[in-house]
Structure 1
Amino acid sequence: MAAQRRPGGGGPPWASLGVPTEKASSFGPSARRLLGRLAPHRLGVVAVLVLGVVSVALNVVGPVILGRATDLIFAGVLGRQLSAGISTAQAAADARAAGNDTTATLIESQNVIPGVGVDFAALGRVLLFVVAIYVGASLLAYLQGWLLNGIVQRTIAALRRDVEDKLHRLPLSYVDARSRGELLSRVTNDIDNVSQSLQQTMSQLLTSLLTVVGVLVFMVVISPLLAVIALLTVPLSTWMTRAIARRSQGQFVAQWRYTGELNGQIEEAFTGHELVNVFGRRAEVEADFAAKNAELRGASYRSQFVSGIIMPSMMFLGNLNYVAVAVVGALRVASGAMTLGEVQAFIQYSRQFTQPLTQLASMTNLLQSGVASAERVFELLDAPEQVADPVVPAVRAQRRGRVAFEHVSFRYRPDVPLIDDLSLVAEPGQTVAIVGPTGAGKTTLVNLVMRFYELDAGRITLDGVDIATMSRADLRSGIGMVLQDTWLFGGTIRDNIAYGNPDATEEQLQAAARAAYVDRFVRRLPDGYDTRVDSDGGAVSAGEKQLITIARAFLADPSLLILDEATSSVDTRTEVLVQRAMARLRSDRTSFVIAHRLSTIRDADLILVMDGGRIVEQGTHDELLAAHGAYHALYEAQFAAAQS
């Protein structure tokens, strides 16, 4: 192809390791934007919150009731050791008289009845009530998880749809400027990571936050003094978590950036596998892979290690808190300020209080990884889009195929000149051949006709209508294009040909296949037109792939045909046959033919010779040869090469 190389496009596998992404936005805005995508499911989110509140409330009430069971058991065990028939006050006085002040305090504070053992009926009622509470809490938690899972998956499905729609609105320049592997990594790996992060953190995050609030309330009610002791570690743990999280967030961003770059490098090396082996560059490709893999390993190690030290640190602070509460609580029981059941309940609350804090800390790495991936997805969603179609697009009154360039100027980069003030007219039914050295702007010219790129100045009209005022779908529906780089999708040969016109009949499809000389080799295949192929060709050769793409264009029956080195991969004999078929196809439509082999365009109605984005010569084959200019030099060079 003779178009100027676009920025970031193409190149051998060892020439590029992927395009680095731009600097990611901060954690807070991206996290809020990600949560904002839950807005369409407000009612479901409210239901999840209500279920979470009730479930956590039931779980939080449990230790208080279990503390009552502990008090019943302790009072019964202590009561059976005392003489029956005396009052609680008398039993306490006897204990003091014997020098057992602590026992006396316990008898008074625990409501011990001398001579009476454990009240198993009351204990059974308490335990059954606790079981009912925990079963109810579990059922509500299950329902909450089921609802939240549905909300998250619908949100991620909507995100995937938005990304898919965005890809179709992106200009070709955006795709050309980025490694395909890196772009695909955002669409697949990053979205999957966001899904997993939301799924694993949303429910646990909500439950943990509600548990912290509920437990704190009960801790203050039971003992303000112990609550203060338990809260002493919170500021320290919060500071520690934030300090570590700030360091790990950048590593998570780097981890997913390197993942995208490594995907790009692998995709290029796999696509150009034959080229790598032909030029003996396998060792260099492997070295590039090893370097990128080492960068990814380093970023992954640093992100996981830094974020991973949060949980052990939180557990250490939680254990210190537990020891302090146990010691002070025991002293409070001994002094009669609290019952044993209250201390037991408070210790459980202390564990319940530190456990969600530890869980929140352990989720930090998942949350940071998910938000880092979300940032990359949002960067894609925020990318500049191609110019929107007009609200009321213009429509061609008739489809004759007249194309006019009027003072057209275009550059891929503002500082690199390419096409300046170009004007030409292709009349209906004409075959216009475009030749010139590599980089002259030949393919760029037809890309502008297709509106793959927008003009910098001037305009292009199709049948008198400015293509910028037409919808892209309407414009391209009347244009058939056969590229030098063939493309087949996964499916049968029949499916690939029918892609040009899905409504075509089987007779029309086979007629197009015969015109493009596809039928002659398809008949030799075991499955015929049902033979499965893909982008790599599968059961067909490179030349046969190109014939299938030509048949696809034949079936579309467009008013404007663009052939970009359409026979470059076929043998000479087949090329002659295809040229005849294309001559019939071009007989009643306008055709742009980009060619390097000048022998294939001798019969063109108009030959444009381009150089540096300008038309330096134009005329018929005989006229240009007689002029002894640029075309004559190209022709002589090819003829001399053929003779030698």
Structure 2
Amino acid sequence: MSEQKSRKESNPSPPRGPGGFGGHGMMMPGEKASDFKGTIGRLIKYLGSYKLPILICFAFSAASAVFSIVGPKVLGQATTRLFEGAMGKIAGSGVGIDFSAIARILLTLALLYVLSALFGYIQSWIMAGVSVKISYRFRKDISEKINRLPLSYFDGVSQGEVLSRVTNDVDTVNQTLNQNISQIISSVTTLVGVLVMMLTISWLMTLVTLLIIPLSLILVTAVAKFSQKYFAQQQNYLGHVNGHIEEMYGGHLVMKAFNGEEKSVEEFDKLNRVLYDSAWKSQFLSGLMMPAMSFIGNLGFVAMCILGGWLAIKKAITVGDIFRRLSSMSNHSPSRWHRWRVFPTRFSKPPLRPKGSSNFWMKKRKVRTPGRQTLRSLWRIRWNLRMCVSAIPPIKSSSKIFRRR
């Protein structure tokens, strides 16, 4: 029993993945793309160090949304004054258009829009600084974590995938923080403010608008559900392609020595094909969001026009109220409420070492070549030298050409 146990420990089975003697492994069909809840939890911890700037950013974003909501209401007053003056002139009552009152209303409207743009600019500037600082901490912590990892981890993960996490994934998180954190507060404020303003105009028109929101939510949920896995797959295979290219260039002498050019190109084509499929599918699905939401918004706009005209004939509301309602709906349509994105990346904790393995292990594969024993001896020599010298060029890329198809 002790001999079998020692024999089992001496020949551990390494994990599947892009590294090791077998080269890049393809993603397993049942592999989970990302740990969304765990990622959000770690991201909140990073955001906790910047509470004051983020709170200021939220306040300015809410203020910008409030000013943009009040703008159509003020503009509706100008429209009412203009319509009443024109109708009075047509009726011959002697009451004309009060251009001085309209000028004061327009100045107030311009001030509101200037304040909205100013607050929006300030919150964007603050959020850009916070996102860059968080990205800096990401890269610093990842660098420190890489320095603590044993060499066995890098035997199971290619260098290209590690670089992809440090560069591409961190950049993706940076863009998400910069664009979406403040947008959440702005969208919520806009939603609440528009609903309150609509209720002050007409509860019937508000009811018609609320019927559109469930359609928008169903569409957003469906698109996000199908596109999330393709975004995650795109990031994963971007790392696989980078790792394959890096290994082929780093070990090109060994690859040429074993005539592995064709199989190296085949492996690259296989990885690149999966990356291409996931990239265009994710972009296509996310691109469907805006036209579909615009279509739903246009349907609601037409319904508001018809209902508003009927209410104006009944003298239940004024023309200014209709204009204010339509302007608010066009500027704050449901297409602006979907601007949330799932992280198309994963920062799950990597295993510090393969289960049941030592710091230095070799992945054994059955190969169809007479030089199998010689190649295994070269790998043993390589691992022994790797313990003493860290500047040896990587040659594990040559193993790709011998793995069984």
Bin of the TM-score, shorter chain as denominator length: 0.7 to 0.9
2: CA distance, partners of 1:239 / 1:271: 49
Match for residue 148 of structure 2 among 159, 163, 169 = 169
CA deviation profile, 1:26-48 (whole Å, cap 9, x unmatched) = 43442343244211111111111
Letter in 1 for 2:349: E
Q: Deviations over 1:76-109 (max 9, x none)?
A: 11111233xxxxxxxxxxxxxxxxxxxxxxxxxx
Kindly provide the amino acid, as one letter, of the partner of residue 358 in structure 1.
S
The AA in structure 2 aligned to 1:314 is M
| Structure 2 letter corresponding to 1:485 | I
C-alpha contact 1:18 1:178 (8 A) present in aligned 2: no
Mapped to 1, the partners of 2:169 and 2:299 lie a distance apart of 39
* 2:392 is the counterpart of 1:485: yes
> 2:83 corresponds to which residue?
74
Distance 1:258 1:75, change over 3 A: same
Query: Which residue in 2 is equivalent to 1:358?
Result: 335
Q: Take 1:235 and 1:306, find their aligned partners in 2: how far apart are those partners?
A: 20
2:67 matched residue in structure 1? 58
Tell me, yes or no, if the aligned pair for 1:169 and 1:385 is still in contact at 8 Å. Answer: no
1:339: which partner in 2? Answer: 318
| Structure 2: gaps of 5 or more residues | 1-9, 365-375, 395-405
> How high is the TM-score relative to the length of structure 1?
0.52
Cα displacement (A) at 1:134: 0.7
Q: Deviating runs (4+, > 4 A) in structure 1?
A: 3-11, 18-22, 409-416, 439-447, 481-484
> Which is richer in helix?
2
Moved more, 236-245 or 121-130: 236-245
**CA shift for structure 1 position 204:** 3.2
1:225 pairs, out of 175, 188, 204, with 204
Indicate how the Cα distance of structure 1 residues 483 and 378 shifts in structure 2: closer, same or farther if over 3 A, else same: closer
Counterpart-to-counterpart distance in 1, 2:390 and 2:349: 31
C-alpha spacing 1:119/1:298, structure 2 compared with 1 (3 Å)? same
**Displacement of 1:215 after TM fit?**
1.1
Query: Which residue is equivalent to 2:307?
Result: 328
Report the CA distance between 1:61 and its aligned residue.
0.6
Tell me, in whole angstroms, the C-alpha distance in 1 between the residues paired with 2:302 and 2:148. Answer: 60
**Is it true that 1:48 corresponds to 2:57 in the alignment?**
yes
Which residue in the other structure is 2:46 paired with? 37
Structure 2 counterpart of 1:214, one-letter code = G
Tell me the secondary structure at the aligned position of residue 24 of structure 2: coil
Question: How big is the shift at 1:213?
Answer: 1.8
- TM-superposed CA distance for 1:486, in Å, is 6.9
Partners in 2 of 1:63 and 1:132 — Cα distance? 13
> For the structure 1 residues 20 and 412, does the alpha-carbon distance in structure 2 shift closer, same or farther, using more than 3 Å as the test?
farther
Task: Please tell me whether the aligned partners of residues 58 and 182 of structure 2 are also in contact (alpha carbons under 8 angstroms).
Answer: no
Cα distance in 1 between the residues matched to 2:225 and 2:391: 50
Task: Decide which of 226, 232, 241 is 2:220's aligned counterpart.
Answer: 241
Contact map agreement 1:4 1:439 (CA 8 A) in 2: no
Cα contact 2:68–2:112 (8 A) shared by 1: yes
Instruction: Give the match for residue 23 of structure 2.
Output: 16
On the 8 A contact 2:53/2:130 being kept in 1, the answer is: yes
The one of 162, 185, 199 aligned to 2:178: 199
Shift of 1:310: 2.1
Is 2:348 the partner of 1:378? yes
Tell me by how many angstroms 1:282 deviates: 1.8
Q: Please list the CA deviations of residues 127-148 of structure 1 after superposition, one character each: whole Å capped at 9, or x if unmatched.
A: 1111111111111111111111
**Paired amino acid for 1:288:** E
RMSD between aligned residues: 3.2
1:313 and 2:292 equivalent?
yes
Alignment-mate amino acid for residue 184 of structure 1: L
Q: Which amino acid aligns with 1:33?
A: R
Q: Relative to structure 1, is the Cα distance of residues 24 and 78 closer, same or farther in structure 2, using a 3 angstrom cutoff?
A: same
CA displacement at 1:208 relative to structure 2: 2.4
**Secondary structure, counterpart of 1:38 in structure 2:** helix
Q: For this pair of structures, how many residues does the alignment match?
A: 367
Give ranges in structure 1 of 5+ residues lacking alignment.
84-113, 387-408, 417-436, 453-480, 488-644
Distance 1:484 1:56 in 2: 56
Kept in 2: contact 1:181–1:260 (CA 8 A): yes
